[in-house]
Amino acid sequence: MPARSNCSDGDMSTQPKPGIYVPGGLQSAMSEARRRALFLDRDGVINVNHGYVHTIEQTEWVPGIFELCATARDAGYALVVVTNQAGIARGYYNESEFLDYTRWMHEEFAVRDAGILATIYCPHHPEAGLGALRIECGCRKPAPGMFTVARDLFNLALGDSLMVGDKESDLLAASGAGVPRGFLVDSSKPGSLGRVIEHLSRAANPMMKRDA
């Protein structure tokens, strides 16, 4: 059964926790071997950001995203989505609806040989959140909490990992967690993921000719 779990870095009893979706359950995703990850923001990197996307009908894939993820897997990267989900905090959709959508998204990647290890999401917002979700947390980017949770759960080598995001806050969060390199992309421009795919292709095939 897929897993939806909560974890936090530091004091588990006092800190707000990000949510976690793992298709095969947490146990299936754990590894004794240290591995590197490709962290992906969701809206603006995986799907075109039409604003609080949470249904199949709203979904428009960013061109090249399946190739990027398949290439990353070939290069030995585990794929982890790290996403702020203020739509949950604002009450635009609930967590169950978000998880149903996330399950479908994971299935779409899996059938294309680009399976995602996990989606980690922050359901909080410090100003617009409703009820208990209106809180300053350590997981909403640019805070690094989602990355450190992923590190601890999945034995990830953050110093060998990469981040792909569409906002500076994505890269700041990754850097704060110790991820040394990030790519800032703009999905409104054709071929926005091209240089990331090229970088990952070189990682998968070290003999590939490099630029002069």
Condensed to tens digits (0 to 9), the pLDDT of residues 34-66 reads 999 999 999 999 999 999 999 999 999 999 999
DSSP 137: -
Percent of the chain scoring above 70 in pLDDT = 90
- Residues in contact with 24: Cβ distance below 8 Å, sequence separation at least 6, in sequence order: 2, 3
**Catalytic machinery residues:** 41, 43
Is residue 140 predicted with pLDDT exceeding 80?
yes
Is residue 18 predicted with pLDDT exceeding 70?
yes
Structure-model confidence comparison of residues 1 and 82, the more confident one: 82
Between the CA of residue 94 and those of 20, 58, 99, 169, 179, what are the distances in Å? 15, 16, 9, 24, 31
Cβ atoms of 39 and 146 closer than 8 Å: no
Is residue 115 predicted with pLDDT exceeding 70?
yes
Q: Please name which of 33, 30, 35, 124 lies closest in space to residue 84, comparing C-alpha atoms.
A: 124
Distance CA 81, CA 114 (A): 13
Cβ atoms of 194 and 64 closer than 8 Å: yes
pLDDT of residue 89: 98
pLDDT of residue 209: 53
At 8, the pLDDT band (50, 70, 90 cuts) reads very low
Is residue 204 predicted with pLDDT exceeding 50?
yes
Q: What is the mean pLDDT of residues 64-75?
A: 97
- Residues in contact with 72: Cβ distance below 8 Å, sequence separation at least 6, in sequence order: 38, 79, 200
DSSP 122: E
Cβ atoms of 142 and 100 closer than 8 Å: no
Maximal C-alpha separation, the chain: 55
Q: What is the mean pLDDT of residues 74-87?
A: 97
Dihedral (Cα; 189, 167, 206, 179), 10-degree rounding: 180
DSSP 3: E
- Compute the mean pLDDT over every residue in the chain, rounded to the nearest whole number: 91
At 75, the pLDDT band (50, 70, 90 cuts) reads very high
DSSP 196: H
Q: What is the mean pLDDT of residues 71-76?
A: 96
Provide the token pair at 128. Answer: 């617009």
Q: How many CB atoms lie under 10 A from the CB of residue 106?
A: 22
